Structure 1
């Protein structure tokens, strides 16, 4: 199995004792909307994991708008959701896979292998006539042991050191106008990290909202050298994670996430800011 599974696969395997379906719907600026949507209707048996309460730490001076959660707190949340080390986890959302990909990345970061994102999302699930319920799942807690994969992550000071270095490519996953610094609707400074190239994360989806297949993902990154170290970021470390998946699907193996991303970078006044386009590295 690759990182993306079909709705048909989810329908076939939901309810199996070793499969946990995780509803990750979340609306920026409306922190209760995702849980309310889950409580109204979700895939039968699905548990809810909240982007800001479960999959992020509280916002601080540094770390960005969605800091990585404390590892102990996250393992507790996963355990209470019925997720153990051998559990197959399928995450879904209604945001093009961005929130589900955050859970995918976190589980991979904690050494968990069997995690996938459901293609298309909940709206497509309901449109296809697949079953839904408002019954809240009550999973049996299990033990989750984290084996942290530190090489998947880079911190701000590492990005500073790598700026302009041969063999490293920074990939900004935000929309092009934000990358260029033409607009900035969320963060207090516009622009991008100097040297970064732009690959908008939603370009990994088809016009119908499905994930592009591996060959199509490879076309998006055809100008990049697979021998280079790739560091992916976005505004707060969430929408970069679909690009991490896309790069893996395209055959890239040396891919890391700058989890704090742009919102962390600009929290340090000494960090340089670039605008406009960059030549591909």
Structure 2
């Protein structure tokens, strides 16, 4: 199943579908505007979005903050995510395209969850709204409120690891645990939000920005394969990705899939790990820390 869609291709598809009967399967566009600095992206969405796009609230619809001890963005329950899918107007048989204004780094969370829920055709808009604007395509203002859909969610289609499995993968001789945060956070030089700085011992630094070209689009499959191979990744051994709270790590999972590698997501990520005082953290550029694995 393709992972990406080009802005021009998306615009052509939306134009072609305007004349189809209202009950036909359609391409539903989901706008997942979110950043750590500005978690509520609804204002930016209303200012201008892909025509027909429905706003998705990452904090309330793509996470379950009632799940104590699971990190800053625990996965939603299957039932809650199904309700969200239906609010967005998704119907079984539709295609979904997820969009953001951050080169896919927040939209990938929706892509991953929809895939995890067994939704058939879901794509990331390659390059996000920046690429849409660069192509000279129109934006729509205001809110889009769709008719409720009937899509169903059945979690389990994407691999997931937990706290103990992340620890084991970091310590394993074979397999790779990738840290998708910026290099300075991996090394422990800064930590703006979590209680301790550093990384999970044994994890390899793989900043999310390295998945992208200068225009904010995913790099070609062969370039991504080369990038991940240089980090010790191959298709024969386990691979998992984490970040601060499981959001941008989904972008790494998408990039790995483009490269032909199936990877698990560690949803709790460093926000969960660093809150467990009994779990060691490593500092510096080495996977095992400046003085080896604690």
- Bin the TM-score by the shorter chain: over 0.9
Equivalent position of 1:168 in the other structure: 175
SS at match of 1:98: coil
Aligned-pair distance for 1:100?
0.8
How far, CA to CA, are the matches of 2:240 and 2:6 in structure 1?
A: 28
Establish whether residue 228 from structure 1 lines up as the match of residue 237 from structure 2. yes
How far, CA to CA, are the matches of 1:118 and 1:151 in structure 2?
A: 20
Aligned-pair distance for 1:221?
0.9
Query: Could you list the runs of 5+ residues in structure 1 that have no partner in the other structure?
Result: none
Equivalent position of 2:264 in the other structure: 256
Equivalent position of 1:182 in the other structure: 189
SS at match of 2:201: coil
Establish whether residue 6 from structure 1 lines up as the match of residue 13 from structure 2. no
Deviates further, 170-179 or 10-19: 10-19
Q: Indicate which of 261, 265, 279 corresponds to 1:271.
A: 279
Q: C-alpha deviations, 1:195-231, integer Å up to 9, x for none?
A: 0001111111111111111111111112322211001
Aligned-pair distance for 1:276?
1.3
Q: What's the Cα RMSD here?
A: 1.8
CA contact (8 A) 1:65 1:263 kept: yes
Aligned-pair distance for 1:60?
5.2
Q: Indicate which of 31, 34, 39 corresponds to 1:23.
A: 31
Equivalent position of 2:44 in the other structure: 37
Equivalent position of 2:21 in the other structure: none
Distance 1:60 1:142, change over 3 A: closer
How far, CA to CA, are the matches of 1:177 and 1:67 in structure 2?
A: 24
Distance 1:72 1:279, change over 3 A: closer
CA contact (8 A) 2:31 2:99 kept: yes
CA contact (8 A) 1:80 1:141 kept: yes
Q: What is the TM-score of this pair, normalised by structure 1?
A: 0.93
Distance 1:249 1:22, change over 3 A: same
Aligned-pair distance for 1:136?
2.4
CA contact (8 A) 1:59 1:65 kept: no
* Structure 1 runs, 4 residues or longer, greater than 4 Å off: none
How far, CA to CA, are the matches of 2:70 and 2:222 in structure 1?
A: 34
